[in-house]
Chains A and B, each alone.
Chain A
Amino acid sequence: MTTVATGEEIGALATLRRGLHFSPELGDGLKGTLALAVLGTVGRVVVPIAVQQTLDKGLNGAGGIDLGFTGRMAVVAAVAILVTGVSSYLMTFRLFRTAETGLATLRTKAFRHVHELPVLTQNTERRGAMVSRVTSDVDQVSQFLVFGGILALVSVLQVIVATVVMLFYSWQLTVWVWVSFLPLISSLRYFQRRLSAAYGVVRRQVGLMLAAISEPVVGAAVVRTHAIESRTQARIDESIDAYQLASTRAQGLTAVSFSLGGISSGLANAGVVVIGIWLGFGDHITSGQVLAFAFLVSLFVGPVQTGTQVLTDAQNAIAGWRRTIGILDTPADLADPGPVGVDLPAGALAVDFDDVGFAYPGGPPVLREVTEHIDPGTRVAVVGETGSGKTTFAKLLTRLMDAGSGTVRLGGVDVRSVGFDALRRRVVMVPQEGFLFDSTLLANAQYGRLGAIADDVRRAVTDLGLADWLEGLPEGLQTRVGQRGESLSAGERQLVALVRAHLADPDLLVLDEATSAVDPELEVRIGRALERLMAGRTSVTIAHRLTTAENADEVIVFDAGRVVQRGPHAALVAQGGVYGRLHASWVAQGSAPAPAPGTLEP
């Protein structure tokens, strides 16, 4: 079995690379956006330069106070600020567009991939966690890209531009400013590691908390009938507390790392004034330039400070991104051969199991050395006790899982080489739990055949002998089935699943206890209808109720992962063995008149 990759093992840069690989749109127009960002950022030094010019030329110029120069300078600066504003608008908008587009693609791909994971992986993953990987995790990435991302981009550019302007004024003071910020910059790596670990814990606690919170929602009936509200609440409270603690710890770390930026700026400013004055004695610098530095340092400290905040957001976002990418990096064991996939031969399909074995990971083999051939057009019943391997047989047959060893062939073709499109069209399995989507009956039936219209569905219902059931529903095909179909009974959900299967019109139909929840009278009626509808096609039916076996052309009996008997019902009954035992208990259960207590055994 494949477990979904957490993605925690890949680094930040690798995450970015993989992220770009899955959302190529993120790279679209990147150069233009970067150019606009440069333009927008360069505009930020307009104010410090304007202050310097005013002091040196407007106030302290050679000819005393120069009003005209100050006015001209202010107009130029105002134009520069306007240009900066327009560039900034364009950059932000473009960033939003690419980020939203790229992430919509990413989440849709990840969603699709979840459906391509093997059944076993789908069943063992926490449902809530899977959902968050295509929803809130992606939201976090988009929030970062469009908010933190802008900040990050502008911050880096701002530091570069501020440094260039500083160098133009005085290299000595520039060196001092950098020296002041060096301890902070070098501590960023340390804080990044700590923050990364802290937010990793936060994310994990969110997952656990969501799972705990889902218990009183998904398991409402169980909690209610056993009156275990206080226990459930205790479990939830525990997970909420753990999340709160983790978040507070991470926040404390963020606060400390953020506060350091201010200390560096104090150090830088103190040095700039003292050293600036000293440099001034040597005529290396003007008073306006010293003051411009104070303004430039504020340009410098802002980004470094928000940089640590951006880093925090980035940790969150990268964690979310990794988790979403983790889904896409989880191999879909059941690979669709895609365009090179072959089609199945036309008409009824033969089934061949060739020395097939299967074991769940870490578990004992559930199927061993199964070699069976089923002729096209025959009706086969598969029986056996719970855990005998009959459901595994069905899952291998329909390629919901791949065999551990040996080969499964349909119509002589290895199932692994058949295109999914063809396979799912020709081979349909009706599982025991007929899951319905929160929509109308009609929409649910259409899962069987796309584009089926109401009349097609009505015809299918009638074919199956269920017309009176449909008529009994107040709104007919427009009946809303509710969450997971829960407005209908379990038996009715199975009926819908059968209607779907009939609409799908397969050449091989596999029924896995597909009528276990409908009443016996109806089950028999459906059985007869299916028999008629499947004439000339192959059907494999797994059933607890031996009625099905009695009517099948052949019965395959599983026991402890092996096929132990095979043949027509009558012959097997005569043989005795496992089937004889199953049959005896069936007869005892089915046709004996109400026995006195204690006489249940055949």
Chain B
Amino acid sequence: MTDNLASARTGTLRDGLRVLGVAIRREPGIFTLSALGSVLFGALTVADAWVLGWATDHAIVPAFREGRVGSGVLVAVAALFLGVALLRAVGIVARRLGAGVMQYRMQAAYRREVTRQYLALPMEWHQRHPTGQLLSNANSDVEAAWSPIAPLPMAVGTIAMMVFAVVQMLVTDLVMAVVGCCVFPLVIVANVAYQRLSSPLVTRIQALRAELSEIAHESFDGALVVKTLGREAQETERFGAKARQLRDLGIRAGRIRAAFDPLLEGLPNLGILVVLGVGVLRVRGGAADAGDVVTVAYLLTIVSFPIRSIGWLVGEFPRSVVGYERVHRVLDEELETSYGGQHLTSPRHGVRLAVDHLSYSHTPGQRLLEDLDLVVEPGRTVALVGATASGKSTLASLLMRLVDPDAGAITVDGTDLRDLAHGALAEQAALVPQGTFLFDDTVRGNVTLGADVPDDAVWAALRTAQADGFVAALPHGLDSRLGERGTTLSGGQRQRLSLARALVRRPRLLVLDDATSAVDPEVEQRILAAMRESADDDAVTMVLVAYRKATIALADEVVFLADGTIADRGTHAELLARNPAYARLVNAYDAEEVPAS
């Protein structure tokens, strides 16, 4: 961490420019336009000083000395001031609009890339990264990365303006120009010092903001637990402690800014005083006249403010570099689910599923599944039964290639899952997970997920999942919006929609991971009965993770998992007869049964 900070300090200027280089290379046209606008602005700002000096010598001083002035001169002065101002306005619009367009284009481009990466990266990667962090990578980090684009054209224009100003000063009076030229480097040096002091703080503040957002996200996610256990005060303290840390760092950053602001402003002003003193000497020596003194002093006045845009630019660098690096940590992630080119044919029967010497561990050293072998013939139904945490859900996610095995292979119709083309498995297989994710979309959108499915088929799937009743009762039927702001559904209702989502695709392999846990038994029975009716005998191969005997009863074969291995397999009756551990597990309720008299 300390190393990072140190390197961030020394390398920020170079890195910041490098990040800007990326943006300029990607948007050269709009950058040129805004830079030209800014140069125009800079040139005309300097011209303004020249106009004032010209007016001093040709209009003001002669007029006051001689008591008269030609009207042509006055018209010229007025026209020059106005003309310069109008052209300068054009420059401003080009500069600012150009900067905005460039900045927003870069933001949009990077957000697209980051989200594409999120969609491409494997599940293991997703599981390793906190939601809040991923959201801020796509949002605030992208914003931070391209924040220097806003002051960029202005800074470019300012550099041009300084060049014009120095030339103008040199033309006006060599000695005063030397004084003026000392001011610009001093201001730039002060800016760089400012940036070096504040950059580690800014880095830390940015990290704290992300942490704060993670706490808020997690805490709001767990709002029900916080409420039911009355832990509002402790959660507030957890958030508050982080907020106070952020506050203290913000104040420290403020102290640095407070010190440099007046310095950056005072330097040119002191320079002007020196110019005045030197100027009076020069005038006395006959080397310059009053107009020259005014021109140089005015140049320092008008250029001193825009010079700060270089400070703003450099000041954005630390934030930008950190944001850029954080975004690139996602973009440069090479982990990718690699897909083969194979497709599956779609015969009218279920898939043949084979698991061959499969091993999987979530973290090294902790085997979740060990050397598993399993074959499910087309159209057969297998129930995975096992105690809590015996590896059933892990196996279910392996079957859908949410994760890849450490050793061994899973094949569908003889093809290794890893050799299938992207989407090939999804065409044939569907998983109904334990937890349900609903999109911020309509019921129809949540069931079809964009597939071209007629409403009849959607209703048929909803009917099988026993969800047609409550969907029909929603205010807009299939068009009712769900998701975070839509209609709230109960856990059981969400599970039934999730089931319909799988059924509507007419999969040849259906994996149900305790998918009806929140549905009450009566409804569950109706679902199971409807599934049996709607499916042809062997049209679908099913793998069920289940506890309930009625669910297990659907299966042709039961696979009993214990400690990551297959402890036993056979029909329910066989296992019940020969395996006491199995009998204990599935008969647990019977032992409790109080005879109903």
Report the bound CA distance from A585 to B528 in whole Å.
Answer: 13
Interface on chain B toward A: helix, strand, loop, or mixed SS? helix
Contact with B along A267-279 (1 / 0, CB 8 A): 1011101101100
Q: Which A residues are in CB contact (< 8 Å) with B197? A: none
Q: Given known contacts A267-B85, A447-B231, A484-B218, is B258 in contact with A582 (CB within 8 Å)?
A: no
A115 touches B226 (CB 8 A): yes
Contact of B224 with A by CB under 8 A: yes
B508-552, CB < 8 A from A: 514, 517-525, 528-529, 532, 547-550, 552
B553 touches A524 (CB 8 A): no
B85 touches A286 (CB 8 A): no
Q: Given known contacts A77-B273, A85-B263, A92-B257, is B82 in contact with A51 (CB within 8 Å)?
A: no
Name which of A103-111, A162-170, A341-349, A457-465 contacts chain B: A103-111
A447 touches B229 (CB 8 A): yes
Q: Which B residues are in CB contact (< 8 Å) with A146? A: 250, 254, 257
B127-158, CB < 8 A from A: 127, 130-132, 134-135, 138-140
Considering the complex, give the chain A residue whose CB is closest to the CB of B434: A490
B115 touches A233 (CB 8 A): yes
A262 touches B261 (CB 8 A): no
User: Which residue in B96, B209, B273, B484 is a CB contact (below 8 Å) of A124?
Assistant: B484
B514 touches A497 (CB 8 A): no
B592 touches A78 (CB 8 A): no
Q: Which B residues are in CB contact (< 8 Å) with A524? A: 588-589, 591-592
User: Which residue in A126, A259, A429, A589 is a CB contact (below 8 Å) of B484?
Assistant: A126
Contact of B227 with A by CB under 8 A: yes
Q: Which B residues are in CB contact (< 8 Å) with A264? A: 85
Contact of A562 with B by CB under 8 A: no
A487 touches B362 (CB 8 A): yes
Contact of B342 with A by CB under 8 A: no
Contact of A223 with B by CB under 8 A: yes
The smallest C-beta distance from A422 to any residue of chain B, in angstroms, reads 9
The smallest C-beta distance from B578 to any residue of chain A, in angstroms, reads 15
A55 touches B281 (CB 8 A): no
A500 touches B229 (CB 8 A): yes
Q: Which B residues are in CB contact (< 8 Å) with A240? A: 108, 111-112
A431 touches B224 (CB 8 A): yes
The smallest C-beta distance from B119 to any residue of chain A, in angstroms, reads 4
Report the bound CA distance from A220 to B397 in whole Å.
Answer: 12
B549 touches A592 (CB 8 A): yes
A594 touches B266 (CB 8 A): no
Considering the complex, give the chain B residue whose CB is closest to the CB of A66: B280
The smallest C-beta distance from A177 to any residue of chain B, in angstroms, reads 13
Q: Given known contacts A50-B272, A104-B244, A274-B74, is B225 in contact with A588 (CB within 8 Å)?
A: no
A81 touches B138 (CB 8 A): no
Considering the complex, give the chain B residue whose CB is closest to the CB of A86: B262
Report the bound CA distance from A488 to B394 in whole Å.
Answer: 11
The smallest C-beta distance from A157 to any residue of chain B, in angstroms, reads 14
User: Which residue in B79, B302, B491, B590 is a CB contact (below 8 Å) of A298?
Assistant: B302
Q: Which B residues are in CB contact (< 8 Å) with A254? A: 96, 100
Q: Which B residues are in CB contact (< 8 Å) with A125? A: 484-485
Contact with A along B207-218 (1 / 0, CB 8 A): 001001100111
Q: Given known contacts A93-B254, A217-B118, A233-B115, is B86 in contact with A519 (CB within 8 Å)?
A: no
Q: Which B residues are in CB contact (< 8 Å) with A111? A: 216, 219, 235-236, 239-240, 243
Number of contact residues on B: which range applies? Answer: 35 or more
A236 touches B115 (CB 8 A): yes
Considering the complex, give the chain A residue whose CB is closest to the CB of B591: A524
Report the bound CA distance from A386 to B521 in whole Å.
Answer: 10
Contact of B193 with A by CB under 8 A: no
Pick the most buried of A60, A213, A243, A264: most chain B CB atoms within 10 A of its CB.
A213
Contact of B230 with A by CB under 8 A: yes
Contact of A489 with B by CB under 8 A: yes
B92 touches A259 (CB 8 A): yes
Q: Which B residues are in CB contact (< 8 Å) with A483? A: 127, 130-131, 218
Q: Which B residues are in CB contact (< 8 Å) with A387? A: 470, 490
Contact with A along B237-253 (1 / 0, CB 8 A): 00110011011101101
Report the bound CA distance from A120 to B302 in whole Å.
Answer: 58
Contact of A331 with B by CB under 8 A: no
Count: A-B pairs, CB below 8 Å: 551
Q: Which A residues are in CB contact (< 8 Å) with B375? A: none
Q: Given known contacts A236-B112, A259-B93, A585-B521, is B588 in contact with A221 (CB within 8 Å)?
A: no
Report the bound CA distance from A236 to B441 in whole Å.
Answer: 13
The smallest C-beta distance from A202 to any residue of chain B, in angstroms, reads 10
Pick the most buried of B61, B88, B224, B493: most chain A CB atoms within 10 A of its CB.
B224
B392-444, CB < 8 A from A: 393, 397, 400-402, 422-423, 425-427, 429-431, 433-435, 437, 439-440
Pick the most buried of B111, B228, B435, B519: most chain A CB atoms within 10 A of its CB.
B228
Q: Which B residues are in CB contact (< 8 Å) with A500? A: 225, 229
Contact of B23 with A by CB under 8 A: no
B505 touches A226 (CB 8 A): yes
Considering the complex, give the chain A residue whose CB is closest to the CB of B139: A210
Contact of A191 with B by CB under 8 A: no
Contact with B along A204-248 (1 / 0, CB 8 A): 000001111111111111111111110111001100110110011
B283-316, CB < 8 A from A: 283-284, 290, 293-294, 297-298, 301-302, 305
Report the bound CA distance from A593 to B558 in whole Å.
Answer: 14
B589 touches A263 (CB 8 A): no
Q: Given known contacts A124-B488, A286-B64, A431-B228, is B470 in contact with A248 (CB within 8 Å)?
A: no
Q: Which A residues are in CB contact (< 8 Å) with B39? A: none
A291 touches B280 (CB 8 A): no
Contact of A27 with B by CB under 8 A: no
Contact of A17 with B by CB under 8 A: no
User: Which residue in B514, B552, B587 is a CB contact (below 8 Å) of A517?
Assistant: B514
Contact of A294 with B by CB under 8 A: yes
Q: Which B residues are in CB contact (< 8 Å) with A291? A: 52, 56, 60, 294
Report the bound CA distance from A78 to B267 in whole Å.
Answer: 10
B118 touches A220 (CB 8 A): yes
B273 touches A74 (CB 8 A): yes
Q: Which A residues are in CB contact (< 8 Å) with B266? A: 81-82, 84-85
A429 touches B135 (CB 8 A): no
A96-121, CB < 8 A from B: 96-97, 100-101, 103-104, 107-108, 111-112, 114-116, 119-120
Contact of A128 with B by CB under 8 A: yes
A333-388, CB < 8 A from B: 360, 362, 385-387
Q: Which A residues are in CB contact (< 8 Å) with B28? A: none
Q: Which B residues are in CB contact (< 8 Å) with A225? A: 400, 402, 426, 429-431, 433
Q: Given known contacts A520-B547, A597-B532, is B522 in contact with A585 (CB within 8 Å)?
A: yes
Report the bound CA distance from A332 to B258 in whole Å.
Answer: 40
B230 touches A421 (CB 8 A): yes
17 further interface pairs, Cβ-Cβ under 8 Å (given A124-B488, A240-B111, A483-B130): A74-B273, A74-B276, A115-B232, A119-B223, A213-B111, A233-B112, A237-B112, A258-B92, A262-B89, A263-B89, A269-B51, A273-B74, A277-B69, A400-B227, A522-B388, A585-B521, A589-B550
Q: Please list 24 pairs of residues, one from A and one from B, whose beta carbons are closer than 8 Å in the complex, sorted by A's number.
A: A46-B269, A70-B277, A70-B280, A100-B248, A108-B240, A111-B219, A122-B224, A124-B488, A125-B484, A136-B139, A136-B140, A209-B139, A211-B484, A217-B126, A227-B423, A244-B105, A252-B97, A259-B96, A274-B74, A385-B520, A431-B225, A447-B234, A593-B573, A594-B552
Please list the 7 inter-chain residue pairs (A to B) with the smallest Cβ-Cβ separation, ordered nearest first: A266-B85, A424-B230, A96-B254, A251-B100, A227-B426, A92-B258, A85-B262
